[in-house]
Amino acid sequence: MSYRSPVADILFSLKAVARLPEAIRSGLHGDLDWDTVASVVAEAGRFATDEIAPLNRAGDIAGARYENGGVTMPAGFGDVYRRWAEAGWGGVSAPAEFGGMGLPHLVNVACTEIWNGASMAFALCPLLTEGAAGALKAFGSRELLDAYLGPMVAGRWSGTMNLTEPQAGSDLNAVKTRAERAEDGTYRLFGQKIFITYGEHDMADNIVHLVLARLPDAPPGTRGLSLFLAPKYIANPDGSLGERNDLRCAGIEHKLGIHASPTCVMIYGESRGAKAWLVGEENRGLAAMFVMMNAARLGVGTQGVAIGERAYQQALAFARDRRQGRGPKGGEAMSPIIEHADVQRMLMTMKANVQAARGICHLTAAALDLANHGRTGEERAAGANRAALLTPIAKAFSTDVGDEATSLGVQIHGGMGFIEETGAAQHMRDSRIAAIYEGANGVQAIDLVQRKLALAGGETVGSEIAGIRQVVSDVAERGGLGFGATAARLNEAASALEEATRAMLRWLASDQQSALAGASQYLRLFGLALGGACLARAGLAAQALAESGDKSELARVGLARFFAEKLALAAPGLGAAIASGAAPLQSYETILADSA
Ligand SMILES: Cc1cc2nc3c(=O)[nH]c(=O)nc-3n(C[C@H](O)[C@H](O)[C@H](O)COP(=O)(O)OP(=O)(O)OC[C@H]3O[C@@H](n4cnc5c(N)ncnc54)[C@H](O)[C@@H]3O)c2cc1C
């Protein structure tokens, strides 16, 4: 079976978990109706399945190629990208004023998953462009918006994010790229950036780089960073391409995965300096960059969902086909391996984790929509705080389970999983970067604990846990026998989360090391409790449909039960690990000392 975009599952999650139809009915999205959402997502799924997905394997084999400052994309990428852009997919949630469709961010996230499931290497170009366009829209001057935003939304020009330098990865305090003020009010950039996704390629006519750099009189650290726009070609007033800027790609990386996504070394200002325009205010670049990074973090979380789903579909098809040993149904012939309980466990783990992570990503996007379109200031603030709390979980939980799913996908294929021609290995190689870039997952966990738990005096996290408890009581009250011990296990997960949250808030004031030591486990615990609640919500919606005569979705009840009874029950163990604080790490120097 070849890959198909999971349109039905995505739509079900938008309805039952993120409750988009309710938001539409409440008037949050103007005159949008559900049928429009459903047809946009279905059309994205058709385009991705038919046009993008076939590029995935060929792109992995051919890879992007560098020569003399240029990057040639694998065959077919440019054509499909052009048709994708002409169909308007670059502007799903961009405002109509700049040529976008003006749809909710939730619909955009649904499409992001669809593009990435088809080819993560292809979808990185739109992902970075969207992030750059978002920061430009939020902080750019009117002149910059008029000159650059329209072509970016139209996909004719692509965008990049330039943060990383050899000495400045997770820690942007160390950024050295220099900006100088020019007499005409523009700036000149000098420096080197590394690992810049789609920094150079031949799919778009122009590339708009957003670059973090430091002015000569800037304060040290991140407080001295400013954000600049430096295009490959400077736009003429009539919108045509003008002078070639003083910036170039000096090479691309040879990587474990996403071979068709060019990861570029960029050199700015080898002679007169790369001409650049300030985005936002001087020395306030990090705030602007955060707009871009937050959107991109949710996008990267969505990549974890997408690639996990693709690996699941492939493993399921293989497990139905491959015969080895005898399953419980017996008989003379060998059984398809899907009849073995351990293979069922692996497939169910893949599916349950992917759908839980999808739910979390959808809740995050719905919160962003509330932050942008809420009717009252209070509603918008609550939406913004919820999105801020959930973004690190959406990013790190989803990419971790994406990695686990792709690894299980290889395992299910047995030895053939380790052989490149099945394609299972490509998913594992491609997915691995998502837990690293856009802020390594350990850094996401620190962000969650150090910055997000205290939001609104702890009210934001409190209301998230109350929401999980509400789902628990709904399952306890209304859930049928098919839910098994779902309510009990999710209740334990919610209690473990509540207790760990109290410990974290205490430690933040008195014992930072204990908070940091448990941060990643805390994020996982949060993902398990919230992901379990997402699946239980979907299960309840499926049960309600069945009660009205449509039993087609009932398998969702069993999936919620599997997640609660087999995966979320790790929550109390994680809670205990968090409770032991930093003490077990204290003698790390002795334990990790070389014993040779
Ligand atoms: C394929 C690819 C594409 C990329 N695309 C872009 C791009 O488009 N634009 C861009 O600017 N950058 C990009 N990057 C860079 C990427 O964002 C960085 O690699 C990432 O932020 C990690 O930085 P680093 O590699 O320097 O790792 P380091 O910062 O050296 O970290 C190494 C490890 O140490 C741990 N760690 C580091 N700091 C802490 C801390 N404070 N607390 C706890 N643990 C910590 C983490 O586990 C981390 O994985 C890309 C990288 C790759 C490989």
Distance separating alpha carbons of residues 353 and 343, to the nearest angstrom: 15
Q: Which of 97, 100, 54, 102 is nearest to 77 (CA)?
A: 54
Alpha carbon nearest to ligand 1 atom 16, residue: 437
User: Does 214 have pLDDT greater than 80?
Assistant: yes
Alpha carbon nearest to ligand 1 atom 9, residue: 196
pLDDT in tens, 502-555: 999 999 999 999 999 999 999 999 999 999 999 999 999 999 999 999 999 999
Helices and strands, number each (H, E), in the chain: 21, 12
Mean pLDDT of the chain: 96
Mean pLDDT along residues 46-67? 97
Mutate to test the pocket of ligand 1, among 171, 431, 436, 450 (most ligand atoms within 8 A of CB): 436
User: Does 320 have pLDDT greater than 90?
Assistant: yes
Confidence of residue 310 (pLDDT cuts 50, 70, 90): very high
Q: How far is CA 16 from CA 12, 304, 355, 553, in A?
A: 6, 21, 12, 12
**pTM of the entire predicted model:** 0.97
* Amino acid in the structure at residue 213: A
What pLDDT was estimated at residue 341? 97
Mutate to test the pocket of ligand 1, among 164, 171, 177, 212 (most ligand atoms within 8 A of CB): 164
Of ligand 1's listed atoms, the one at least distance from the Cα of 438 is 17
What pLDDT was estimated at residue 331? 78
Confidence of residue 2 (pLDDT cuts 50, 70, 90): confident
Give me Rg for the CA atoms of the chain.
24
Distance separating alpha carbons of residues 65 and 201, to the nearest angstrom: 9
User: Does 1 have pLDDT greater than 60?
Assistant: no
Mean pLDDT along residues 230-257? 97
pLDDT in tens, 217-227: 999 999 999 99
Mean pLDDT along residues 252-266? 98
pLDDT in tens, 379-393: 999 999 999 999 999
| E runs forming strands in 145-271 | 157-162, 178-181, 187-197, 206-214, 225-231, 233-235, 241-244, 247-252, 263-268
Ligand 1 site, residue 437, Cβ cutoff 6 A: yes
> Max CA-CA distance within the chain?
85
Phi, psi of 199 (to 5 degrees): -60, -30
Three-state DSSP at 66 gives strand
pLDDT in tens, 143-199: 999 999 999 999 999 999 999 999 999 999 999 999 999 999 999 999 999 999 999
User: Does 71 have pLDDT greater than 60?
Assistant: yes
How many A from CA of 83 to the centre of ligand 1?
33
What pLDDT was estimated at residue 327? 87
Confidence of residue 596 (pLDDT cuts 50, 70, 90): low
Ligand 1 site, residue 158, Cβ cutoff 6 A: no
What pLDDT was estimated at residue 121? 98
Ligand 1 site, residue 164, Cβ cutoff 6 A: yes
Q: How far is CA 254 from CA 73, 251, 260, 263, 303, in A?
A: 14, 10, 10, 8, 21
Q: Are 100 and 93 in contact (CB under 8 A)?
A: yes
User: Does 81 have pLDDT greater than 70?
Assistant: yes
pLDDT in tens, 423-435: 999 999 999 999 9
The residues annotated as belonging to the active site are 438
How many A from CA of 439 to the centre of ligand 1?
6
Phi-psi group of 168: left, alpha or beta (phi > 0 → left; psi -120 to 50 → alpha; rest → beta)? beta
pLDDT in tens, 449-465: 999 999 999 999 999 99
Q: How far is CA 262 from CA 161, 197, 240, 358, in A?
A: 13, 6, 26, 27
Q: What percentage of the chain has pLDDT greater than the value 70? A: 99
- The runs of H, that is alpha helices, within 195-284 are none
What pLDDT was estimated at residue 263? 98
pLDDT in tens, 88-112: 999 999 989 999 999 999 999 999 9
How many A from CA of 260 to the centre of ligand 1?
20
What pLDDT was estimated at residue 295? 84
Residues composing the chain: 596
Q: State both tokens at 178.
A: 């220099």
Q: Please give the residue that has the higher pLDDT: either 319 or 94.
A: 319
Instruction: Determine the angle formed by the axes of helices 285-321 and 120-139, rounding to 10 degrees.
Output: 160
Of ligand 1's listed atoms, the one at least distance from the Cα of 253 is 1
Confidence of residue 72 (pLDDT cuts 50, 70, 90): very high
